[in-house]
Structure 1
Amino acid sequence: MDYRIFIVEDDRGIAEGITEQMEQWGLEAKPVLDFHNVMGEFAEYQPHLVLMDISLPFMSGYHWCSEIRKVSSVPVIFVSSASDNMNIVMAVNMGADDFIAKPFDQNVLTAKVQALLRRTYDFGVSSPIIEHEGALLNTGDNTLTYQDAKIDLTKNEYRLLLTLMQNKGKIVSREKLMEALWESGDFIDENTLTVNVGRLRKKLENAGLENFITTKSGVGYKVG
């Protein structure tokens, strides 16, 4: 299995050094590119482990660790020069799995990463997240999160949103959406589909997600 490591580090030299080290050991690695969009890149990359600095542009590593923990149980290791007891305790309280102080030995970092990957994925793989416009759909627990708030979805609403978000940018036919709902055990006709999409759209708009789902008249619906 090719494990993916997401590196949230603003020192380019350190980020590149970690990336090279991970790749030498057969791991994939990707440093964050846009520190305004850490969660979007996290959702797109679907990492198996995150390496997180504390001092970052715009928001701290504590903030991003907390945001990740709202939607995923993926392992997080803090890598920081702020290695006093208070910061270590804070990191653990925010949901971190380990803490490595800078400056660090690359081999020690690699050993810790590999050990945590073994411990985590011997027992199963973390749930994938699908992201669009800041909305995070967790396919592990069937929840939708947007701007720190969880949006309650019915079984049918979840199936509809999952199908649409899995096909971002494409029009999904009404027939395909009805088939997705049939898979959940409910037989849905054309009228019931329209009602379900209308309720889902209203729920998303109330949460601040305006025009998240668009309609192609007579054909189907689209996200993105």
Structure 2
Amino acid sequence: MRQQQILIVEDDETIAFGLKVFLLQKGFGIQHADRVSTAKNMLTASPHDLILLDWNLPDGNGYDFCSYVKQMSDIPVIFLTVRDDEHDIVQGLDMGADDYIVKPFQLSVVLSRIQAVLRRTGIAAPASARLTCGALLLDPVKTQVFCSGTEVPVTAGEYRLLLLLLQNKNQTLTRRVLLEKLWDADGDFVNDNTLTVMIKRLREKLGPSSSIKTIRGIGYRLEPDDE
């Protein structure tokens, strides 16, 4: 499979560097432009599968650049911007942007949004975008879970919980954070008892390879036993 190419148009070097390192680790090819003129040259020189676009740039703005891109091609565009006003968000989406993420953001959220946009536009994410932890593998493109090479049937809620844990591998997630994210993901209320049951069922389905650690009084952490 050809490596998917992402163009980051961002003048904040710290943000751009963080995105570049993270997405390179996830198997994407990355180019970075810190201004509109450079981004236009890069678009002309080589093909891209998606653009992460800041709104405010030294020699122009994301609004005009997005319009320029959409007139030329159907490359998906995701805005990354501090502009959180409802008018700005609506304006960005109405002009053809495929998603809109307000800064500050979590890198795991950006990855999920990228994968969702690539799925909607028929562009498959790279195989290395699959999430792993020991013998556990989650394929976000096919929404499948495997353990030691065997597919594990999970419910939609269990899948989202496992995805959150994998996206934050080796990091402790509090029960409160998990409950809030699970609720936001589906629009349904997930209570404390439901979370406990979901963790229990995931451990039963995944067996010894579950790698889900209980951090007493805090929450859960996913980490392989050999790390």
Q: TM (normalized to structure 2)? A: 0.52
Cα displacement (A) at 1:33: 4.9
Q: Matches of residues 9-88 of structure 1 in structure 2 within 5 Å? A: 9-88=10-89
Task: Report the counterpart of residue 165 of structure 1 in structure 2.
Answer: none
Letter in 2 for 1:56: L
Count of residues in correspondence between the two structures: 123
Contact 1:81 1:101 in 2 (8 A): yes
Cα displacement (A) at 1:38: 2.3
* Cα gap change, 1:34 to 1:60, in 2 (>3 Å): closer
Cα displacement (A) at 1:41: 1.3
Letter in 1 for 2:30: A
Aligned residues with identical type, % of pairs: 36
d(CA) in 1 for partners of 2:122, 2:22: 21
Q: Matches of residues 1-224 of structure 1 in structure 2 within 5 Å? A: 1-122=2-123
d(CA) in 1 for partners of 2:13, 2:113: 22
Q: Could you say which structure has the larger radius of gyration?
A: 1
Contact 1:6 1:31 in 2 (8 A): yes
* Cα gap change, 1:82 to 1:104, in 2 (>3 Å): same
Cα displacement (A) at 1:34: 4.9
d(CA) in 2 for partners of 1:48, 1:37: 17
Contact 1:39 1:67 in 2 (8 A): no
Letter in 1 for 2:59: F
Q: TM (normalized to structure 1)? A: 0.52
d(CA) in 1 for partners of 2:5, 2:121: 13
Cα displacement (A) at 1:92: 0.9
Q: Which runs of 5+ in 2 are unaligned?
A: 125-227
Task: Report the counterpart of residue 194 of structure 1 in structure 2.
Answer: none
Cα displacement (A) at 1:111: 0.9
* Cα gap change, 1:55 to 1:18, in 2 (>3 Å): same
Letter in 2 for 1:15: A
d(CA) in 2 for partners of 1:15, 1:85: 25
* Cα gap change, 1:12 to 1:92, in 2 (>3 Å): same
CA shift digits 1:96-155 (9 cap, x unpaired): 0000010000000011111211221259xxxxxxxxxxxxxxxxxxxxxxxxxxxxxxxx
Structure 1 stretches of at least 4 aligned residues deviating more than 6 Å after TM superposition? none
Q: Which runs of 5+ in 1 are unaligned?
A: 124-224
d(CA) in 2 for partners of 1:53, 1:103: 12
d(CA) in 2 for partners of 1:65, 1:111: 21
CA RMSD of aligned residues (A): 1.5
